[in-house]
Amino acid sequence: MDPRTNPFAPGAGARPPAFAGREQILEAADIALDRQIAGRHANSMILLGLRGVGKTVLLNRLHEEAKAKGYETVRLEVPDAAGGHLARMLVPMLDSVLRRLDRRQAAQDAMGRAGAALVNFAAAFKISYQGFALGLDGDGLAAGSGNMEADLPDLMRAVWEAAADRKTALGLFIDEVQYLSRDELSALARTCHEAAQQGGRFLMIGAGLPQIAALAGDAKSYAERLFSYPEVGPLSDAAAREVLSRPAAEEGVAFEDAALDRIVADTEGYAYFLQSWGKFVWDEADASPITEDDVIRAHPAIRADLDESFFRVRYDRSSPAEQQYLRAMAELGPGPHQTGDVAKILGTESSQVANTRRKLIEAGMIYSQRHGETAFTVPLFDTFMRRTMPDLVPYTPRKRG
Ligand SMILES: Nc1ncnc2c1ncn2[C@@H]1O[C@H](COP(=O)(O)OP(=O)(O)OP(=O)(O)O)[C@@H](O)[C@H]1O
Ligand SMILES: [Mg+2]
């Protein structure tokens, strides 16, 4: 059918033509946002899920909701695991928040303190910042020690107090949370801790890969209690059908039940795959209704596109040793797998490949939810690995020198 009217939207963070499922998380976040802006405590949350399940789209939606409720917000995406991004990204964004707050009428002293804290914070983390023209009557030392764990809570408190003066609250939305450094994560946990203790009008909603739960627990033992960790999984059968049939119906196109059954089974309900199947099946079909046969005929195009767009980009970023490790995991199937079993497939001991495994976790390719276990962060990645690297190469120790 006409690709011009094809409604489906596979792509990182792409707004789907029909957003389905997630009712429980939306409801929980709605309650938390309403409570916090009214000065009642609510836990901050971190949405956890695999690649392509729909975390970014959900985070964006919650961000829109927070803004609609009157929150002052900051939204950022941590670019990679290099660390040190948080301060650099926060300074200009908090500057915008203060400028917007300044336009709301209220007493200036909390604003002055927040402005001073931001200037100090920027200086402490060597971020060039002109400073916000406020009567900087605040504490000359706030947020300027250079210790992230101390400074970030100071800074955020100054900002949420300025927000509270203006009868609003501060919402912090962070995507790809697993790329935060340990210091940054501790500092955020601490910020949430202080907000809880002082009744601060502050809520953080993050999104990231599942390993973050273990990491946050590591960073601060109380992180387990500070955050809730809603799981973003595959869509339910009914939601998956809606994702496909609603946008098609809006274009006057129907899916036969057998076609929907087939797509739901193929995609296992993963949001990215549903959009991808929808797109290629639409292009393949000649007319409405779309049949199971159309789905089957679209398979080669879907696979080629997923290999190039979804799987390959991640694979290409890995070193040869990392690729061998991924290939060994794929030999065992979708996972999760015992780390010892992966080493056995490579013909070696876990300790020999521990470094490779750690790098893959840092890069967000694999994760470990339970000790001694390893799983792919990309759904169906095992099938891709077997296609792209038909042969398994055993581990060979690197020569020194
Ligand atoms: N609830 C939903 N209903 C329908 N489609 C969705 C839904 N959530 C996400 N999608 C679609 O799925 C695809 C992936 O979504 P998104 O980029 O949010 O995933 P992600 O979990 O952030 O992935 P990554 O870990 O790679 O960043 C997009 O094409 C998006 O349009
Ligand atoms: Mg995302």
Contact 290, 5 (CB under 8 A): no
Q: Is the distance from the beta carbon of residue 238 to the nearest atom of ligand 1 less than 6 Å?
A: no
Ligand 2 center to 309 CA (angstroms): 14
* 70 pLDDT tier (thresholds 50, 70, 90): very high
What is the 176 CA–ligand 2 centroid distance (Å)? 7
Q: Whose CA is nearest to atom 6 of ligand 1?
A: 271
CATH 3.40.50.300 residue ranges for the chain: 23-228
Q: Whose CA is nearest to atom 2 of ligand 1?
A: 19
**Residue 225: per-residue pLDDT:** 74
Decide which of 174 and 141 is more confident: 174
Ligand 1 binding pocket includes 159 (Cβ within 6 Å) = no
The whole-number average pLDDT for the span 288-300 is: 97
Alpha carbon of 127 to ligand 2 centroid (Å): 27
* pLDDT tens readout for residues 160-219: 999 999 899 999 999 999 999 888 988 999 999 999 999 999 999 999 998 776 666 666
Average pLDDT for 5-14: 94
CATH topology of domain 317-388: Arc Repressor Mutant, subunit A (1.10.10)
Looking at ligand 1, which residue's alpha carbon is closest to its atom 9? 54
What is the distance in A from the centroid of ligand 2 to the CA of 353?
Answer: 29
Q: Which of 56-60, 163-167, 237-241, 250-254 has the weakest average pLDDT?
A: 163-167
pLDDT tens sequence across 83-120: 789 999 999 999 999 989 888 766 677 888 898 899 99
Which CATH superfamily groups domain 23-228?
A: P-loop containing nucleotide triphosphate hydrolases (3.40.50.300)
pLDDT attached to residue 211: 79
- In the chain, list all ranges with CATH 1.10.10.10: 317-388
Using the mean position of ligand 2's atoms as its centre, give its distance from the Cα of residue 58 in Å: 9
Q: How many whole angstroms from 73 Cα to the centroid of ligand 1?
A: 22
Ligand 1 contact, 200 CB (< 6 A): no
- pLDDT value, residue 297: 98
243 CB under 6 A from ligand 1?
yes
User: What was the pLDDT predicted at 142?
Assistant: 79
Give the residue, by CA position, lying nearest to ligand 1 atom 13.
272
Q: Which residues, at least 6 apart from 119, have a Cβ–Cβ distance to it below 8 Å?
A: 129, 131, 132, 136
Q: In the structure, what pLDDT confidence band is assigned to residue 401 with cuts at 50, 70 and 90?
A: very low
pTM of structure: 0.91
CA–centroid distance, 42 to ligand 2, in Å, is: 24
- The pLDDT of residue 210: 87
**Domain covering 3-14+235-315, topology:** Helicase, Ruva Protein; domain 3 (1.10.8)
Mutation choice for ligand 1 from 56, 60, 380, CB with most ligand atoms inside 8 A: 56
Name the pLDDT band for 395 (thresholds 50, 70, 90): confident
User: In the prediction, which pLDDT does 81 show?
Assistant: 81
Does ligand 1 lie within 6 Å of residue 74's CB atom? no
pLDDT given at position 360: 94
329-378 confidence digits (pLDDT tens): 999 999 899 999 999 999 999 999 999 999 999 888 999 878 889 999 99
Report the nearest atom of ligand 1 relative to the CA of 275: 29
Instruction: Tell me which of 22, 57, 309 to substitute to probe ligand 1's pocket, judged by most ligand atoms within 8 Å of the beta carbon.
Output: 57
Residue 137 has pLDDT above 60, yes or no: no
CATH 1.10.8 domain locations along the chain: 3-14+235-315
Residue nearest to atom 15 of ligand 1 (CA): 54
Shortest-distance atom of ligand 1 to CA 9: 29
Q: How confident is the model at residue 122 (pLDDT cuts 50, 70, 90)?
A: very high
Ligand 1 atom nearest residue 14's Cα:
31
Average pLDDT, the chain: 91
Q: Is the CB of 313 under 6 A from ligand 1?
A: no
